[in-house]
Structure 1
C-alpha cells in the first residue's frame, strides 16, 4: 500500500536536507583548514557513504544491489563525474571562497542543463530560459564584483565552482537515464561506490596517515577543539547520508521541480551558517548577486517543456551531494 502524499512533509524534508547540506559546508571548511586535502576529504566522504548505504541495502533489501553488466558504464561515469569530481571541485572551491558564494556558482547547474537539452537534444524549452541565463550570468558578475580590479574572488576557486556546476549538471542528466531502470536510492548507492573506487586509485589509502584523524582541531567556537574523526563522521553521516535520504523521501510528497526549487535555499542557509560560525561576511553586492542567481536558477528549473518521466532530480544539490 502506498503512503499518503503529504506536501507539508515534503517541504519539511527538503528544507531539512538543505539545512544539513548547508551546515556540512562549514564543517567541511573546518576539516580542510585542519589540513585534510580536498582529495582525501572527498575520498573519506564517498567511501564512508558507500559503506553505510551498501550495508543498509544489504541488510534490508539485498536484491536491489544487483547490477547488470550493461549498467556498469553509466554507473562508472555517474559516480566518477557526478559524485567524485563534483564533491572534489566543491571542496577546492570552499577552500578558496566563502561557502555560500561557492554554492551559488555550483547551483547554476540547472541553467546549463536547460541549455544542453536545447542545443544538443533539441528539446523545446520555454522562453524564460533566456531570462534565466541573463539573470544567472548577471548575478554572478555581481557576486564576483568584477569591477574591482578583475574581480574580488579567487580565480581558482571560481573555476572550481563552475566546473563543479558542470559536473553536477552531468549528474542530473545521467540520473535521468539511470532512474529508468533503477530506483534513486540504489542508483546513488552505486554512484558512491564508483566514486569510492575512483578515489581508492586516485588517492591510495596506503598513502593516508590515519593517525591524523585523532588530532584535536579548533572548530571556531571559543577554545573548543574536537577530534578530526568526529568532523569526518559528521560529513559522512549528517553531511551526506542523512540529507540524501531526506531529499529522496521528499520526492514521495513533492514533484521533482518543486523540490528542486525549494532546495535552492541551500546557499542562503549556507551563507548564514558560515557567517555565524566562521564569520564569513558577504558584501551587499554579493548578497544581491546571489539572490539574482537564485531567481535565474528557479526559472531554469521550469524551462524544460517535456522532461522524461524518470527524470527526478537526485539529491547533492543542489547539492549536493555536493555540500
Structure 2
C-alpha cells in the first residue's frame, strides 16, 4: 500500500500522521457523511438477512453449494462485462485471495455450518466477527481496539444470543468449527481489504467483480460435482437466484466493500450484526413467527452494539 494510502488509513482509524500531528477534528458534516456511508454499507448484511427466507421459499431444496455458486459467478461475470477491467500485477493474486475468503471458502463453510447447526447457534457464532476484526487489526493494521469496541463486541454477542438462541439448541462440533472458520475468514477479508485498499483508477464495481468471479470459479465445479443441477428451474427458482445474485450479492457486496474502504474496519464489522436482526424480522413478517420478551431485549442490545461500535470519523476519499 502506498504511503498516501497508509496515511489515509491511519487518519480514518483515528490515528495521527507520520509527522506526529493529530488527525483534524471531525466536523458535523464529516460525521454526517460517515454516517451515510455506514448506512449504505449496512444494506449489505441487511440483505444477507433475507437469504434464509429466500432460500426456503424460492430455491430448490438441498443444493446450498449450487446456490452459493449461482450467487457469486454470474454476478461477477456481469460486473466484469460492465466494467471491462481485469486485474493487473499483484492484484491477480490479491483478488484471488479476497475472492476465496469472501466467497470461495466462506460460502461452503457457511452453508455447512447452517445445515449442521440451528440458526440461532450459527448466528451467535458469527456475531463474534467484530472481536475477530479487532484482533486481526492489531497485527495487520497496527490498530489497537478501544475499550468501547470490545464492550460493544461483547454486547453484540449477548444480544444476538438472546435474539436467536433457543433452549433446545443442539450443538454439533463440526458445524461449530465450520461456522467459526467461516466467520474468521470473513473477518480476515475485512482487514485485508482495508489494508490493500483499491488499485488506482479501478472502480469499486470492478474490484467486486474480480472477487465474485474468483470465488465463483472455485465454487462452480465443486457445486456441480457434489450436487449437480435440478431437473428443471421454476419461475420462483429463477426469481430467487436473481434476487440473491443481483441484490444480495453484487449490490450488497459493492456497498459492503465501499464501507470497508471508507470507514474503520471495526465500525464496518459491527454493521454485520444487522444480518440476524433482519433475518429475525423477515421471519416475523413473512413466516408468521413471533418475538418473545427475551428476543425483544436481544434486539435492543444488538442495535445498541451496532451504534456503540461506530467510530464515525472523517471518511476516506478515493
Provide the residue aligned with 1:186 in structure 2.
Answer: 206
Aligned pair in 2 of structure 1 residues 240, 285: CA closer, same or farther (>3 Å)?
same
Provide the residue aligned with 2:25 in structure 1.
Answer: none
Q: TM-score, normalised by structure 1?
A: 0.68
Q: CA deviation at 1:75?
A: 1.7
Provide the residue aligned with 1:152 in structure 2.
Answer: 169
Provide the residue aligned with 2:57 in structure 1.
Answer: 30
Q: CA deviation at 1:164?
A: 2.3
Q: Encode CA deviations 1:191-211: one digit per residue, 9 max, x unaligned.
A: 111111111343347972353
Rounded to whole Å, the distance in 1 between the matches of 2:105 and 2:254 is: 21
Q: CA deviation at 1:142?
A: 4.5
Rounded to whole Å, the distance in 2 between the matches of 1:136 and 1:45 is: 28
Q: Encode CA deviations 1:261-281: one digit per residue, 9 max, x unaligned.
A: 566433222211122223455
Provide the residue aligned with 1:168 in structure 2.
Answer: 186
Provide the residue aligned with 2:5 in structure 1.
Answer: none
Rounded to whole Å, the distance in 2 between the matches of 1:175 and 1:25 is: 27
Q: CA deviation at 1:169?
A: 0.3
Which of 40, 49, 55 is matched with 2:66 structurally? Answer: 40
How many positions carry a matched residue from both structures?
A: 284
Q: 3-state SS of the aligned residue for 1:123?
A: coil
Q: Is the 8 A contact 2:194 2:260 kept in 1?
A: no
Q: Is the 8 A contact 2:129 2:184 kept in 1?
A: yes
Name structure 2 gaps, 5 residues minimum: 1-28
Aligned pair in 2 of structure 1 residues 36, 232: CA closer, same or farther (>3 Å)?
farther
Name structure 1 gaps, 5 residues minimum: 59-64, 215-225, 313-323
Rounded to whole Å, the distance in 1 between the matches of 2:164 and 2:237 is: 32
Q: Is the 8 A contact 1:92 1:157 kept in 2?
A: yes
C-alpha RMSD over aligned residues: 4.2
Rounded to whole Å, the distance in 2 between the matches of 1:75 and 1:69 is: 11
Rounded to whole Å, the distance in 2 between the matches of 1:200 and 1:179 is: 27
